[in-house]
Chain A
Amino acid sequence: MSGLALRAVNLSKRFGNLSALEGITFTLAPGEVIGLVGRRGSGKSTLLHLISGIHSPSTGEIRFDHRRVNFTGPYQARQLGIYLVHQEPRLVKRLDVIHNIFLGQEIGWPFGGGLPDRNRMTRRAATVLEEFDLPVGLLWEKAENLPDEQRQIVAIARVLCQPACLLLLDDPLAALSFERQRRLLDRIRGLAGQGAGVIVTGDNLKHLFAITDRIFVLYEGRLVADRRTADSTPREIVEMIVGAASQEQVTPIIWALESYHAAQQQAEELRHTQATLRESLEAQDSLNRQLVERLRDQVEALDQLNVALQAAHRRLLTEREQERKHLARELHDQVIQDLLSFNYRLEEAENAEPTTERQKELAAIRSGIRQVVSELRQLCGDLRPPTIDSHGLEAAIRSHAQEWADRNGIALTLEIDPHLGRLPEAIELSVFRIVQEGLNNVRKHAAAKQVNLCLQRTPTASLLVQLTDDGKGLTQPLDLAALSARRHFGLLSISERVALLGGTMHIESAPGGGVALQVDIPSPSPSV
């Protein structure tokens, strides 16, 4: 459709005492795109309303193709091919989208009215909706159910479904998404290419600079600038929008505007990135879930292995104890008895020997044998505390402590809970071995003069073993792994036994300068 040359001469509009527009004069050639900018209330919408026949000018005249017009309503402008898209589109809420798009511009027979041609209208509207990425089904949605952006697109579609000579777009981009803004900008350029004149208002100077041939600036109802877009800069335009009187405010406003639009664009891009990120995140998530599952399987296998290992360890200890017990009995019942009987026969031989020379020699041999027997007895006692099976832990510890103190010349104070009673064999043996190892450590490393050993039942029904000395104490923090590397198994074996009984072990410096070993064994302990 051919364009329409618009000429406004000295156009003014007053609402009561309020002057909205004053002395506006300009021309618009067919195929030209004009950007109309100005502050809120500067008269942008009013000017578009005058051109589209919503209001009539108070003074001045509007000419289309050199003919003066005096519109009394929008329908007269519409007859000339002048279309206005309102800032806030007014649709008939109760009608569906396709009726709204073609309201007042139905395609039909005869003479474009009368009986409507549904198929042609549906096709044409569907093309426009697809252009803006909207589903065709939207055509039969009631206008009152649409969100703002879709209402704006319907209003724009009204214009795009009919050939127009002059398009007046009042801030059509604000409600649209980034992608649709670009579509509309392209479309505006395309329409201008076909000869339609366009006046578009908006806040985003970047958009206006992209598509307009000229930019008009309105300031308080007056047209203060009519610039070719190619010859002006956004800064210049903003200066005029704000008004020359407030020069000093211009720079921050430009910054604000620029950063606002930059931020908008970034927000769009961010939204896009976010969408892709969300997708990859979901993929990552499922991978993670698989990994976590595999890890759980492995941890489970490790747990089972650990349990098996503990069981094996326990069995090893038990068997070792059995072995020792057996060995001790063998030594005691066989070897010592044999040695004693040899000793007895030697005594008889000694008595029968006439020479004192030989008697002395035999006595020395017998004393040697008694020495061996005594050492063997000691060995048996170490292998298997002789009293533990018959008299229990308390007696075994008392006897061992007494012997230890005598042998090493270190004072030992023993405190044993009178209500200790008997415990399962495995626990009694383990506790005994712990005490044995502990005392052994004190003897080897502490150089102590006084040792305290305390065994007691605690209110939580567990067994507490405390061993304190007044020796050298610890020179450095204990590290069981390092001890193991240096083949010092004493503390290590204590800690292993404690762990097998499910107990806890603390080693710290005692108040008197030595070391305090504290072992806590729960009872009933795990079955051994």
Chain B
Amino acid sequence: MRAFSASHSKPSWPGVWQAVVRRQEFGIAVILLALTIILSLQTSTFLTGTNLFNVMRASSWIAIAAFGEAIVIIAGGIDLSVGSVMALAGLVSALTLLAGWGAPSAICAGLAAGVAVGFINGVFVSRGKLPSFIVTLGTLSAARGLAFGLTGGEPVRNLPNSFVHLGQYNLPLGNWEVPLPAIAMLVFAGLTALLLSRTVLGGHIYALGSDETAVWLAGINVERLKITVYTLSGVLAAAGGILMTARLGVAAPTAAVGYELDIIAAAMVGGVSWLGGKGTVWGALLGAMTMQVLRNGLVLLGFPTYWQATAIGVIIIAAIALDRWRSGHS
């Protein structure tokens, strides 16, 4: 949000503490910490390096897509097409790989599919002046249909190792074996955070979500800005989808069905305001992690599988209620 807030005063320590507490991410960070402590005490398996990296790997593609979703929500919109884009991008990469392309080109092709869907979303939302909910609901269905059409409904298997490694290789770092998707997640988080907090474009995105009319009157090209926002969401969803395909080793047209809800939930649980203009990438990251930790913890605790979705729903509502309560007090 502080695209260029001046360094006119050095904050004192109590000031820093207050700033931390007041941040939107504070609530979700506390919940994540509490969950971690409870699970560490209740189970012997949770607080092991392997399990933690598994959690990070499992949440990585949801998280990366949630970064893009966070951008859209901050800008005052919503993107329902992210799940379908993930599946479509993975499929495009897989198909181009089988067509003999190298892994980098195939990844670019997958990302291009995401860019295309995102661009179309942006054009319809800005030029067509349609509600983002409607437009992206349409592309959710359209992209899914395209995925089915391209494959005839069959999963694409036998992907080359050079590609599959991307999702399955663990980078040895000291004593740890760090999965590549976890590293990718952190890299994307850093890049997106820099984009939002340090660039003029990021400042415009926050301003757009706060007051679109004022931004338009200020002489900002709102159409271009919106197209950029939805394209960013598309490309980040595509990156998540490609990573997911590489991890699973198979590209199914039915992959990532219903993920858009997890992704939107991750962003909102992480403190991204559904009214626009507020939130951070780090919040979305914490949101995605929390949901995965919860899922993982429920499995480790032997909680009945069917009830897990209910528990996650409760956590979503609790996190947002907490955020509401805090912003009502500040």
Binding site for B on A (CB under 8 A): 54, 73-75, 77-78, 83-84, 86, 90-96, 98-99, 102-106, 108, 113-119, 121-122, 139-140, 158
B199:A115 contact, CB within 8 angstroms: yes
Does B291 touch A at the CB level, under 8 Å?
Answer: no
A92-B210, A92-B211, A106-B200 in contact; A99/B217 too (CB < 8 A)? no
Is B5 interfacial (CB-CB < 8 Å)? yes
| B240-298, CB < 8 A from A | 277
Chain B residues near A115: list those with CB within 8 A: 198-200
Quick check: is B97 within 8 A (CB to CB) of the other chain?
Answer: no
| A residues near B57, Cβ cutoff 8 Å | none
A121 to chain B, nearest CB (A): 6
| B210 pairs with A95, CB closer than 8 A | yes
- Would A104 and B219 be within 8 Å (CB), given that A96-B5, A116-B4, A118-B4 are in contact? yes
- Proximity bits, B187-223, A CB within 8 Å = 1, else 0: 0000000000011110110110011011111111111
Taking a contact as CB atoms under 8 Å apart, the answer to whether A93 and B210 are in contact is yes
Whether the pair A116, B3 counts as a contact (CB closer than 8 A) is yes
B30 at the interface (CB under 8 A from A): no
Contacts of A114 in B (CB 8 A): 199-201
Q: When the two chains form their complex, are residues B200 and A113 in contact, meaning their CB atoms are under 8 A apart?
A: yes
Give me the 4 closest cross-chain CB pairs, A-B, nearest first: A78-B219, A116-B4, A104-B220, A104-B218
Are B7's CB and A118's CB within 8 A?
Answer: yes
- Flag whether B329 is at the interface (Cβ < 8 A): no
User: In whole angstroms, what is the CA distance A116 to B215 when docked?
Assistant: 17
Could you say which residues of chain A place their CB within 8 Å of the CB of B207? 92, 95, 99, 103
Residues in B neighbouring A94, C-beta threshold 8 A: 210-211, 277
The residue that B6 contacts in the complex, of A73, A104, A139, with Cβ under 8 A, is A139
Q: Evaluate contact between A73 and B216: CB separation under 8 angstroms.
A: yes
Give min CB distance, A243 to chain B, whole Å.
32
Most buried by A among B3, B204, B218: B218
The smallest C-beta distance from B193 to any residue of chain A, in angstroms, reads 14
Q: How distant is B22 from chain A, measured CB to nearest CB, in Å?
A: 14
CA A95 to CA B211, docked complex, whole Å:
10
CB nearest to A106 among chain B residues: B200
Closest to B277 in A: A94
A91 to B223, CA, bound (A): 19
With both beta carbons as reference points, the residue of chain A lying nearest to B221 in the complex is identified as: A75
Output the nearest chain B residue to A78 by Cβ-Cβ distance: B219
Complex interface: chain B residues within 8 A of A117 (CB)? 4
| A105 B219 Cβ-Cβ under 8 A | yes
| CB of B10 within 8 Å of the partner chain | no
- On whether the beta carbons of A103 and B215 are closer than 8 Å, the reply is yes
Closest chain-A Cβ to B108's Cβ sits at a distance in Å of: 24
Q: Is the CB of A77 within 8 A of B219?
A: yes
* A90 & B217 in contact (Cβ 8 Å cutoff): yes
Task: Specify the chain A residue showing the minimal Cβ separation from B211.
Answer: A92
| A200 to B7 alpha-carbon distance, docked (Å) | 37
Instruction: Return the chain B residue nearest A83 by Cβ.
Output: B219
A54 with B217: CB separation less than 8 A: yes
In the complex, 8 of the A-B residue pairs with CB atoms within 8 angstroms, ordered by the A residue number, are: A86-B217, A90-B211, A91-B214, A93-B211, A98-B5, A108-B4, A117-B4, A118-B4
Inter-chain CA distance A306–B5, complex, in Å, is 76
Find out whether the CB atom of B203 lies under 8 angstroms from the CB atom of A106: yes
A140 touches B6 (CB 8 A): yes
| Chain A residues, Cβ within 8 Å of B203 | 99, 103, 106, 116
Bound-complex Cα distance A103 to B206 (A)? 11
Tell me how far the C-beta of A30 lies from the nearest C-beta in chain B, rounded to whole angstroms.
Answer: 21
Set B4, B211, B214, B223: member contacting A106, Cβ < 8 A: B4
Q: In the complex, what's the smallest C-beta–C-beta distance from A525 to chain B, in angstroms?
A: 74
Complex contacts, B5 vs chain A, CB 8 Å: 96, 98-99, 118, 140
In the bound complex, do residue A122 and residue B216 qualify as a contact, i.e. CB atoms below 8 Å apart? Answer: no
The CA of A95 and the CA of B27, in the complex, are separated in Å by 23
* Chain B residues closer than 8 Å to A86, beta-carbon distance: 217
Bound-state Cα–Cα, A114 to B198, Å: 9
State the CA gap A116–B201 with chains docked (Å). Answer: 10
* Chain A neighbourhood of B7, CB < 8 A: 118
Tell me whether A108 and B277 are in contact (CB under 8 A). no
For A77, give the chain B residue with the smallest CB separation. B219
Closest to A95 in B: B207
Tell me the B148-183 residues at the A interface (CB within 8 Å). Answer: none
A452, B204: Cα distance in complex, Å: 109
CB-based contact B200/A108 at 8 Å: yes
B54 smallest CB distance to A (angstroms):
37
Contact A92 B201 (CB under 8 A): no
Q: Which residues of chain B have C-beta atoms less than 8 A from A104's C-beta?
A: 204, 215, 218-220
Tell me if B219 and A74 are in contact (CB < 8 A): yes
Q: Which residues of B contact A122 (CB under 8 A)?
A: 6, 8
Decide: B4 and A121 in contact? CB cutoff 8 A.
yes
- Knowing that A105-B218, A106-B3 are A-B contacts, what are 20 other residue pairs whose CB atoms are under 8 Å apart, sorted by A's residue number? A73-B223, A74-B218, A86-B217, A91-B211, A92-B211, A92-B215, A93-B211, A95-B210, A99-B3, A103-B214, A103-B220, A104-B215, A106-B203, A114-B200, A115-B199, A116-B3, A116-B199, A116-B203, A122-B8, A158-B218
Shortest beta-carbon distance from B9 to chain A in Å:
8
- Residues from chain B with a CB closer than 8 A to the CB of A140 are 5-6, 8
Q: A114-B200, A140-B6 are in contact. Are A90 and B213 (CB under 8 A)?
A: yes
Q: Which residues of B contact A121 (CB under 8 A)?
A: 4
CB distance from B81 to the nearest CB of A (A): 26
- A54, A93, A94, A139 — most chain B CB neighbours (10 Å): A94
B6 touches A74 (CB 8 A): no
B1-57, CB < 8 A from A: 3-8
Q: Which residues of B contact A74 (CB under 8 A)?
A: 216-219
Query: A75, A93, A139: which contacts B219 (Cβ < 8 A)?
Result: A75
CA distance A161 to B88 in the complex (A): 47
Cβ distance B15 to chain A, nearest Cβ, rounded Å: 14
User: In the complex, A271→B219 CA distance in Å?
Assistant: 39
Q: Which residue of B lies closest to A158 (CB)?
A: B218
| Chain B residues with CB under 8 A of A78 | 219
Find residues 113-153 in chain B having any chain A CB closer than 8 Å to their own CB.
none
Contact of B222 among A73, A77, A116 (CB under 8 A): A73
CA distance A84 to B3 in the complex (A): 24
Q: How far is the CA of A106 from the CA of B198 in the complex (A)?
A: 12
| In the complex, residue of chain A having the shortest beta-carbon distance to the beta carbon of B210 | A94
- Give the chain B neighbours of A93 by CB distance below 8 A: 210-211
Measured CA separation A93–B275 after assembly (Å): 14
Please give the distance in Å from A419's CB to the nearest CB on chain B.
82
Residue of A whose beta carbon sits closest to that of B3: A116
Instruction: Kindly name the residue among A54, A73, A92, A106 whose own CB sees the greatest number of chain B CB atoms within 10 A.
Output: A92
**Distance (whole angstroms) from the CB of B214 to the closest CB of chain A:** 4
List chain A residues, Cβ under 8 A from B4.
98-99, 102, 106, 108, 116-118, 121
Complex Cα distance A93/B211, Å? 8
